Structure 1
Amino acid sequence: MGFKQAAVLAPISFFLGVLFICFNIDHKLLFTDHTDEAIADGFHFYTTFFNAPPAIKALLHGLVAVGILSLVAKLHTWSESAMLFDGTSLIAYVFGVVMYLSVVIPSLRTIATPLAEETAEVRLEAMTVLSAANVLIILCLCAILMLQAGQAYAHR
C-alpha cells in the first residue's frame, strides 16, 4: 500500500469510527420506537457533539480535506483504474461531504441551538433526519472502502 492509498484510507476509517459512535444513538431513532430515554440521549449526544471544542472541529474538517486531496492525487495518474475506482470514490466522497454540509450541520444547529419558533417536534424531526444522513454517509464511506479494495485486487 502506497502513501496515497493510506492517505485515502486513514480519513475514511476515522470518519467511519466517528459515525459508528453516532450510530449508537441513530439506530434507536431510526429502527426502534421513539422512547423518551432515546430522544433525551440523542439530544444530549448531539448537543455535546455540536458544542465540541474548535480543535475537534478543525481536526474533522482537516481530515475531510486530506481525503479529498488524496483522492484527487490518486486520480491525477489518469489511468483506467484511477478513472474507474478513484473517480467513483471521489464522487462518493464528495456526495458524503455535501450531505454533511447540507444536512448534518443544519440539523445539528437545529438540535443544539433551536430558534424560538422551533418546537420539540421540529427538533426531533431534525434529529431523525440527521440520523438518516449519518447512515447514508456510512454507506458512501463503505462504498469507497470497497472501491479501494477492488482497485488493490485488480492491480494484483
Structure 2
Amino acid sequence: MGFRTGAVLTSVAFLYGVLFVASVYDFPLIYGEFTDEKGLIAEKFYLSVFQGPRAVSALLHGMMLLGVLGCSAKLHAWSELAKYFDGSSLALLVGAICMYAAVIVPNLRLLADPANVNLLNNSSIRTERDQFIKNQGGTPPGLYTEPLTNDERFSALMIIGATNTINMVLLAGVVLLQAVASYIEAEEKKEAQKQRVEAAEALRQQIKGKAAVDAPETKKDK
C-alpha cells in the first residue's frame, strides 16, 4: 500500500470514526422507538459539535480534503486500475461530502437558529411542510414565517441521521474499492516479478546452451 492509498484510507477511517460516534445518537432515533428524550440528547450532541471550536470543523474538513487529494493523486496515473477503482472511489467520496454539505450542514444551521425563517425556507423542512399542506388539500405559501417547531426539530435530526447512514454506505464502497485495487496491484506485481524471473532463467539457459555448443568447436580449432 502506497502513500496515496494510505491517505485515502486514513481519511475514510477518520470519517468512519466520526460517523460511528454519531450513530450512537442516530440509530435510536431512526431504528428505535422515538422519545423526546432521545431527540433532545441527539440535538444537544449535534449542536455541541456544530457550535464547538473551529478546530473541530477544520479537522473534519481537512480529513475530507485529504481523501479527495489522495484519490485525485491516484487517479492522476490514469491507468486502467486507476480509472475504474480510484475514479469510482473519488466519486463515492465526493458524493458523501456533497451529502454532508447539502443536507447535514443546512439542518445543523437550522437547529442552531430555529427562528431563522430564511434557513427554514431553504431546508428540507420546507418540503415536509409543503407536502403536509398538499395532503390536506391546501396550497403551500411562497414563504413560511413560522419558526421551527419541536416536531420539525426532531425531523431534522432524523434527516441528519439518515444521511449519516447513507454516508456510511458510500464510505464502505470507498474502502472496498481501495482494498480490491490494492489486491489487484499486488497480484500484478507478483505476476510481473514472476515473468522477469522466468525471462532471466530462459536467458540463462540460452546462454548456457550456446556456451555448450561453442565449446566443442573451440576444441576442434585447437
1:30 alignment partner in structure 2: 30
Q: Note if 1:86 corresponds to 2:86.
A: yes
Counterpart of 1:45? 45
Q: 1:114, CA displacement in angstroms? A: 1.2
Of structures 1 and 2, the one scoring higher in RCO (CA 8 A, sep 6+) is 1
Q: Deviations over 1:70-128 (max 9, x none)?
A: 10000000011000100000000110010000001011112222126111111111100
Q: Which structure has the larger Rg?
A: 2
> Secondary structure at 1:25's aligned position in 2?
helix
Hey, what does 2:6 align to over in structure 1? 6
Structure 1 counterpart of 2:99, one-letter code:
M
Cα root mean square deviation, aligned: 1.0
- Runs of 4+ in structure 1 over 3 Å off: none
Q: Gaps spanning 5+ residues in structure 1: where?
A: none
Alignment match, 1:118: 148
Matched to 2:167, the amino acid is I
TM-score (norm 2): 0.69
Given that 2:74 and 2:82 are in contact with CA atoms closer than 8 Å, whether structure 1 keeps it comes out as yes
Structure 2 Cα separation of the partners of residues 70 and 17 of structure 1: 19
Quote how far apart the aligned CAs of 1:36 are. 2.2
Q: What is the deviation of 1:52?
A: 1.4
Match of 2:70 in 1: 70
1:149 is matched with 179
2:170 aligned partner: 140
Unaligned runs of 5+ in 2: 117-146, 188-222
Q: TM-score, normalised by structure 1?
A: 0.97
* Alignment length (residue pairs): 156
